Every structure is written in C-alpha cells, then in structure tokens.
Structure 1
Amino acid sequence: MAAEVPILRSLGWEVYVPKIIPHNNPEYRSGGVTYEYDAALQLHPAALAILNQHDFYHQAWSATVTEILNKNFDVLIAGFSYYTLVLSEAAKKFNGLICARAFGREYPRTYADFDQYGMMPGVLAELDRLGSRFVFAQGYENLAEIEPEALQRHAQTVGIPLPKQIFHYEGIWKGGGENAIFLCPSITTSAFYQEIYKGIKESFSYLPHIIFGKQSGNVNDPCVLPYLSDSELVELYENAPVFVYPHTEPRHVHYSPLEAMVVGTPVLYLKDALIDRLSGNADVPGRCDGVEEMQEKAMRLVRGDKLLAERIRSNQSRVIDRFSIDRAKKQWLSILTR
C-alpha cells in the first residue's frame, strides 16, 4: 500500500483505504490502515463514515454500502487472500472493474486454494463470469501459470513497487558489521517459517549471524532480534557484511532483500529462486548454485572480502529495476485505461 496508493493517486484517481483489517491472524501480514487519503475524497462525510465503520473482510455489503461504492467508485482493488468475502461481494454487487492483487504464494500453495479453503468457496467462478471486468493483477509473470484457467485468462502483470521511502537510503551501505543477516519472521507460529529457521540453523550455524523479522512469540535464540523500527532496519542493512537469503520460492520474495539491495548490502540468493528469475537467471556474483556456494561466499563476505562485495553490489540493479515505481505505474495505467 505504501507504494501503490501514491501511484494510483499520481494517475489521477481518488483512493479510499478501508479502516478495519484482521488483527488476530499471524499469517496475514498484508494489511495496513491509513486516514491520510480521506480528506482528498469527493465523498460526503456521512458516506465516508459508513465506509470507515464497515469491515470488508468479514461483513457482507449492505444496500447502503453497495450504493455508496457504485455511486462513487469505478475500480475495486483487493488483495487475493483467505479473506475472499470482499471479492465475492464485489463480484455480486459492484458495477466497476475488480482487480484481485496477487503478490505470490509459497510453493506449492496457489491462489486457487482460496477458492476451496477461503471464506467464500466458489469465488473464482463468480469472478470469471465478470469477463473483462475482472483482472487477476499478478505481481510476477509466472504466478498465473500454475493457476486454473479462471485466473489465467484474466491475468495481467503489475510489478510490485518498492516504497519510495527506501530510496532515500540508496547506496549508503558501508558494511563492517560482524554478523551475516537472515530474514525469518513468525518462527513460533508458522510451520513454513519454522522450516526456514531450521534450515538456517542447520546450514549456517557456523557463521556469525543474526535473524530479523516480526515475531508473534518469544524465540529462545539470542541470534533472533526483537522487532526493529524502520530506522533500525535501515541501520541493519547499512552495516551488515552480507544479507543471506536462502529461500527457494519460485513465485514469492520478501521486500527485505530488495530493500537491502537498494541500500547497497551484498545479497546472496539461490539459483532458480524468484530473485534469480527476475534477474534473468543471469550468472552474477550474488547468485549461488546451491547452499555450499552460498556458505562459502557468505563466510568470505563476513571476513571482509571487499572485492566480492563490490562485484555483487554492482549487479544488483538488474533486480531492483523490476520493482521500480515507474514500471508499476505504466502497468497500472494499462489496466485502468483499457
């Protein structure tokens, strides 16, 4: 939201952001609330108050909510998640364009899973029947290829832009820190991330390291950092000798290694993971054919191999460019003006 809402506004659109999001689901980390765009809406205060009190994730649309949305809005953009009620309600009651925003799921999960296990089974058929009024707005070109035809035929790629704020720190990396850094949130609450954490410890325990990421419970490991503010996170990137990203996901990548690349931190990633695909599978120094190569390069960087660090850093723009605001803006424009 931090990057996409400003893009939509720059294209001349007024944007409303719902004010109620799920708070009791540690697996849901995509929501955000802001009131900063409300004042720019040409919307009656009473209508705005009604929308602000509506829970789009859990509540069906009343006749009043439906009337307000159809009278004042032309496009609905909703994250494609377990909370499919908003997409189902829109398919039944909204007259404009509906975009299901998809940022990638961990293998072997698919967005079609939500059609069976989400809040509203059968939502794909509802959306498919909309024809050209429905867009599966995939963040990466390869998301739809493993989805059913109901999503494939509506797929259009809109790259996921990095927030403008991170570019305030572009190229400030200086290194010199003692520890490699790893990302692993939700260690105690997510089976997926428990396996990631286990893999880090099995493959990199010999390496001086720290692990960051939002945790939902206490982790009995001094290497796991407490929650970091935005400024503390930038400082972590700035000083780290290396960011090791041993994820193998072909259709999902976290913001963190991308932010670190902007700051200038040398980032190591695995062959055939999404970062590798986004770089065109180029044989560049940050790419590792396997864990053994990643271990060797990580140790060299922790020990201060400046030549390797600069070789990695000089090739990271090919990835960062795929997350540019200008690129996403052009892609959104093609959807919203078709």
Structure 2
Amino acid sequence: MNHATLRKFEVPLLESLGYEVFLPKIFPYDEGNLSASIDYSRDAGLSIPSQELDVLNRHDFYSGLSPEVAEIANRHFDIAFFGFFPPQLAGLIRQFKNVCVMRPFGLANGVTYTDVTVASLKYFFLDELQKNKSRFWFGQAYDHLAEIETGVYLEKAITLPLGLDDARVTDEWTGEDAKILFVCPRIGSSPYFNYIYRNFLRTFGEYPYIIGGAQPIDIPDSNVTGMLPRDDYDRMMRRTRVMFYHSQEMRHLHYHPLEAVRLGMPLVFMAGGMLDLLGGASLPGRCKTEAEAKKKIKAILDGDKKLIATIKASQGVLLRSMSREFCEIGWRKEFPKIEASVDHCRAQAMANSNKRKKVAVILPAAYRGGTLNMVKLLAKMLRRGSLEHELGVDVVFGYPDNPIYSEADWRDLYAEGIETRPFRTAEIDGVDLSEIQACLGYEPKTQKTRFTLHKDGTYDFLDCDFWLLGSDRYVHPIAPLRPYCVFAHDYLQRYYIPLMGNDYERGFIETARNGIAVLANTPHTIEDIVHYVGKPRNQTILVPHVAELDQLEDDSRTVKKGSYFIWTTNLGPHKNHVKTLKALNQYYTGYAGKLDCYVTGVGSDQLDPNSEVDDSRLPDHIKDARAFIRKNPQLAKRLNILGDVSSLEYAAQMKGARFLLHNVIMDNGTLCAVEAAYVGTPTLSSDYPPMRYISERYSLNAEFFDSSDPIFLAKRLQEMEIIWQSKQAVLPSVEHLKQFGWRGVSYDFFSSIKGILGVK
C-alpha cells in the first residue's frame, strides 16, 4: 500500500509488533491512488539482499506478481498487507504462498466487497478465495464492514482499527480566512463526486468556499485548488474558517474531517454517517438537515465565537478511536490470529507438497483437423511443462461426446498421462447459476444471461481447479464456476464479416472477456484480442507458437518429389477458394502450368463437383467453387482432390509435393507450412501478418502473394515451378524445426501461464 496518511500510522505499528516492513515503490497514478506516495526510508533496515530488493522496488505490485517477484516474495515475506485493488488481490491469492491481509476501509452504501470482487475478478475468483481462506484475512478498518458481506469476507473478518498519526488536538487552527473548506476530489472524472460537488454548490454556493482534493481533470472553478503539497494543504486547513463534511456513508470515512479536528478546525458534518459511530452522534457540529448545516456554517463564517468554541471543545472525541493507544489494543488482540495462520501456512506447505493442481483442457466443439490438434497440444504442453517445472499438474482433456471421435484420437494424450473425459453441453439461466453459487455460501445477484455448463456425468469438471478453454466458440458464455482462460485461435470475423450471423459475438466475446486471460500464439491475434475483443493488454498472454511434428517423425519413408504442388484447405469461407481456383485456371490456361494441384484438408472432398453431395446443403462459396471447376474442364483435369486423408497419407503427399500453396483472406497462420518445411517442401502463401510471423519464427523463407489478385498468384505459381529447388535449399534443418515441436516449447509454455494457474 502507498497511501501516505495510512502508512504514517500503520508501518510503525507493524514494526512495534516485531516485523520488518517493505514498502512498494511503484503505484499507478490513477483515481485509486491520488493520496499515494513513495517512501524509501525502510529499505536500509531490511534483511532482503540488495539485488532482490532492487527487483521488488522496480515492480508494480498493483498489477499482480511476476514469477520472479513471486519467488522473492515467497522467500522473504510472511504477511502481505494490501488495499482492495482487485488485480493485486488476485495476484497475491494466486502466486503468494503466505498470509494475505486485505485492508478494507469501506464502500458506498449498498455496495459490498463481495459484489465488487465478482464484478472485477468474476465469480470464479470466490472459489479461488475459498480454497485459500486459511491464509486470508478480511482485515477491516471498522468492526461493522463485514456484516453485509458473505462467504470468505464474512467468515475471515478481523478488525484492525484504522488510526491517525498523532491523533490529538494540536489547536493550530487560526481561521482568519472566512471560507468553507470542502474536500471533493475527482469532480471532472467521477460522476459520484461530480454530483456531490454540484449539491454542495446548490446548498452553499452563495458563501465563500474552497474546494480541496486532487483533480485529474481541471475544473473551471477558481475556488478549486487541486492537489496541494502537504504543507500547503495543512496551511489551508489552519487558515480556513470551517470544514463541511457531507458524507452519510455508514461504512466509509475520509481522513480529512479527522485531520481538521486534529488541527482544531471547526467541523460541521451531516448526521447518519460514520462519524456518528466514532462518538459524533451528540456533537454540536452534527446536522440532521442541510438547512441546519447551512445555518451553523453561516454563523461560523460570521464569527460566532460561542458556536465555534462549543464545536471545538467537544469534537476531539472523534479522535479517540483513531489514537495509537486505542488502535494498538485492537491490533495486538487480533494479530495472534494472523501469526497463527503464518504458522499454519508453513505446516500446510509441507503437508501439501505432494498435492497437485488439476486443470481441465476443454475442446468446446466437435472439431477435427488443425483445431483439434492445437487443443491437444495445449494439453500435452501443459502436462509436460508442469513436470519440467517439477510441479506435476494433472490434466484432464474434455471433448464433446460425439461419434466422430474414437479411442485412437486420444492415444497421444494417454501416452502423456492425460485423462480424457467426454461431455455434453447444457444451458442454465441466471437463477440456476445463483442456486449453485448459494450452495457455496454466497448470495450473488441474479444475472439475466444464459450460461453454458460442461456436463461430464460426474463432476462437470468442478473437480478441476482451473479450466483452459481450447477456443472461445460458445453460444452462451461459460458459467463462472472455476477460474479459466481461453486460447484464441483467431478472430476471422473481424476481417471476413459474412463469416457469422448477427448475434455471433455475444457468447464468443463474453467468454473471452470474462476469463482470467486470453492466450494466443501470434502477436497479430494478441492485437485482435485487445482491439476487437476489448480485453486489457495485461490480461493477454503470448504463448510460444508450436508445431505438431509427431505425425511426420513417425513416417520414415523416402518419397520422391512428384510433378505436383499441394493445396491444403477446408470449407471455411475465409479460405478464398474461388480466387484460388481462378488463379489455378489462369496458371494452367494462361501460363501452361506443368504441375498438378493436389487438394487435401477436412471437407475438401466437397469441392469436387463430381462428389455425391446435396448442393442445397452447401454454403454459397462452396457451391461457387464447385460450379467454377465444373465450367473449366482443363482445371478440373489438373486437380486431384484427396479430401481428409490419414496422417500417414498426408505426410507422404506433403513429402512428394514441389511446394505448398496456402491462400486465405486471414487466419492465425497455418502449421502446414512448418510441416512442409520439415519434409523439405517450401511454401507459397498469401501475405498477412500471422504467416509473416510464422515464416520468421521458423525460418521458413516462404514466398508470398496478394490473396486478392488471382492473376498475380498465377504468375507466382509459374515462378515456383522454376525456383522451388532453390527455395528448398534454404529451408531450415529438421534439427532447427524440432526445437519448436511441442516437447521443445513445453517448458516456456508452462512458464507463460504458471501465474494464472495459481501454481506456486
């Protein structure tokens, strides 16, 4: 925490309890930290090695914990005290091994910390909190804050009274400036404070006034001072005739009315707020109505010495519960509970050394081909990477209960010790979700949204600590019952609008937005996640791009290069079929192309106009492709449409091809180019950012063309006839490519997601 006034009181108190105290040196300059500052004064007395202290001092603890900082913190700190900053709370719960004491100071009437936690970190974070409750404390500043909370916040509430340094009346007030001092920050940036400011002007605007408080946006009012240096602020308080405090919040109190009392400044305040609980219920400065406040303030501005003396003589009672003497009693009473949990953490760390995290990797829909392979790779990298980190995460692979799958599809997962589990999806509404959540001890507000559940017939994956969703393709967002992240393959709909219907975005986008993080394996898709999905950049993770090379390693046959190139595709509308076919037709008719074109990929057999397919059931772009082939017999004669072949057949055909043709409008890049290079086949690809990234990452030296220009592609095909051998000569070695296989990148993959898994 960096709150200057709070630090001045609580740090010496913690030191008196026998603790060294580290103070963060970086904080975000935002509206939650307008009273924050930096203090290096304790660094010299810390037993932390200087090199590690430098790392801590350079870190922004408000954004969470990096792996390096988490390791240092876990080694040196027994307890973390922190304010209610949701990313900070999440980072500590997920990555700090020791005791966490949150310091709530109260919220507006009707708002709970539970509600704000759910809104900021999603409901599933409460499950994480529940699992870590033995090392968590809701260290409330006032003893009545937790009474409106539920779950862990209510169960683990202790009162550590909020104090004020030197909480005694110093009587430094002089009051020669006959104005009202009203502290109201963030007028231009907060609707809440803007309303308070306007209400103050409506009631007291006819009197001379000064508005204190930090203003991130300039206010066109010469009476608004903005943020002042501490000495200037104190001088203003000493000189101004009276302070008015508006708040009638029962669970939040600002420091400034107490600072006014400490200086001996008359305080006029509204009844019904926190000051009543601190002894202000019978004070002469208390007002039940604005009219009463206005009358008293006018009298003070006019110099009513009797009223001023009466208010000043009695209001010191407000400081009693803020004094070191009073607060230290409460702290010393409750601190043994915190220290007992420190001891419990140490014992539990030993007992849980063999306890393993369990993560479900879920294939959302009945995919085959590249998407299925990629999601299986995620599961294998997660499992192997955890073992390489000596953490041993158990992995469950969930897949749709669909006859297109057989046990043969999961043999590679079984070989890695990964459990598989079929599921069926079910929809629930907000009422159903609230009933589930209520069983866990919370009283959430019912949402109107519908949600998706994975029903596996037993635990519905609730036996897992974390879900890694292999895609965001959900009609309705996932029920937030466990923390999860999403792997985003691409956002084609951003570039090819007809891809989906009018309502496609809601489930997809909300599923991504609601997760802890969204993963992607190309920088281009990361940018789509930020700018299209709207996910904050610090909630995106660029994971290593990986190539599935096992199917090629299993095929040791030597295949002679044939008189053909290979076009890998599927039925997706972004695959640019008609323009590719136009280019091929021009290649054969205009450039007397010598190489045949072999076509492979899931569903590609439906491009064959002679295949027995009901045209009425085909999408328009496939109908157009079939019609084009039918009208151009010379093209049809040179196409060899293989369809979805086995892995061994695919490897053989790729080995025999002179080059690979890849033409799409946009996607996340194709691994086929890496597979082609592995077997000595160069690539000719449409030019777009992910393919440029893949070519550079793997050193493919691919050739590129404009996907919108069939004539140019025809010319490039003719050129590849001639240069394919020279392009083959500059392909990367097998040894070079193997380092990008899933085994080679598993360690780095796990490193990139370790923090969000909560693995310590």
Normalising by the residue count of structure 1, what TM-score does the alignment of the two structures yield?
0.91
Once residues 162 and 16 of structure 1 are traced to their aligned partners in structure 2, the CA distance between those partners, rounded to angstroms, is 20
CA distance in 2, matches of 1:122, 1:116: 8
Amino acid of the residue matched to residue 157 of structure 1? T
- Going from structure 1 to structure 2, the CA distance change for 1:122 and 1:6 (only over 3 Å counts) comes to farther
Higher relative contact order (CA closer than 8 Å, sequence separation 6+): 1
Where is the helix percentage greater, Structure 1 or Structure 2?
A: 2
Distance 2:189 2:316 in 1: 34
1:117 aligns with 2:119: yes
Task: Report the counterpart of residue 680 of structure 2 in structure 1.
Answer: none
Structure 2 CA distance for partners of 1:58 and 1:120, relative to 1, 3 Å:
farther
Whole-angstrom CA distance in 2 between matches of 1:27 and 1:59? 16
C-alpha distance after superposition, 1:14-63 (max 9, x if no partner): 0111222112x22443543222111111111122122222222224431x
* Aligned with 2:76 (options 72, 87, 102): 72
How far is 1:192 from its partner? Answer: 0.8
What is the alpha-carbon distance in structure 1 between the residues aligned to residue 125 and residue 314 of structure 2?
42
Shift of 1:265: 0.5
Deviation of 1:171 after TM superposition, in Å, equals: 1.1
> Distance in 1 between the 2:175 and 2:36 partners?
33
Q: For the Cα contact (< 8 Å) 1:269–1:276, is it kept in 2? A: no
Structure 1 residues 121 and 22: alpha-carbon distance in aligned structure 2, compared to 1, 3 A threshold: farther
Q: Stretches of 4+ moved more than 6 A in 1?
A: none
- How far apart are the structure 2 equivalents of 1:121 and 1:22? 25
Q: Could you tell me which residue of structure 2 aligns to residue 105 of structure 1?
A: 107
Within 5 Å, give how 1:149-168 maps onto structure 2: 149-164=151-166
Contact 1:15 1:37 in 2 (8 A): yes
Instruction: Map 1:249-328 onto structure 2 (within 5 A).
Output: 249-279=249-279, 282-328=281-327
Render the CA deviation track for 1:136-172: whole Å, top value 9, x for unaligned: 01111221122223211111111211134x76x8111
Residue 2 (structure 1) shift: 2.2
Output the CA distance in 1 between the equivalents of 2:329 and 2:16.
Answer: 11
Instruction: Say whether 1:16 aligns with 2:25.
Output: no
Partners of 1:88 and 1:120 within 8 A in 2: no
Choose from 78, 84, 94 the match for 1:92.
94
The 1:65–1:335 alpha-carbon spacing in structure 2 relative to 1, beyond 3 Å, is farther
Amino acid in the other structure paired with 2:96? F
C-alpha contact (below 8 Å) 1:246/1:291 kept by paired residues = no
Q: CA separation in 2, counterparts of 1:252 and 1:15?
A: 26
Residues 160, 210 of structure 1: CA spacing in aligned structure 2 closer, same or farther, 3 A cutoff?
same
Per-residue CA deviations over 1:227-268 (Å, capped at 9, x if unaligned) read: 322122222222222111122211112111110000001101
Q: Distance in 1 between matches of 2:244 and 2:91?
A: 42
CA distance in 1, matches of 2:125, 2:103: 15
In the alignment, residue 285 of structure 2 is paired with which amino acid?
G
CA, structure 1 residues 144+221, in 2 after alignment: closer, same or farther (shift >3 Å)?
A: same
Q: Does residue 56 of structure 1 match 2:61? A: yes
Task: Name the structure 2 match of 1:184.
Answer: 184
Q: Distance in 1 between matches of 2:65 and 2:213?
A: 34
Look at both structures and tell me which one has the larger radius of gyration over its CA atoms: 2
**2:233 and 2:259 mapped to 1: Cα distance?**
10
Matched residues in 2 for 1:50 and 1:306: separation?
57
Residue pair 2:27, 2:33 contacting (<8 A) in 1 also: no
Q: Percent identity?
A: 32
- Residue of structure 1 aligned with 2:31, choices 26, 48, 71: 26
CA drift of 1:120 comes to 6.3
1:215-230 correspondence to structure 2 within 5 Å: 215-230=215-230
Say which of 1, 10, 13 aligns to 1:7.
13
Query: Which residue of structure 2 aligns with residue 128 of structure 1?
Result: 130
3-state SS in 2 of match to 1:211: strand
Task: State the alpha-carbon separation in 2 of the partners of residues 208 and 265 from structure 1.
Answer: 17
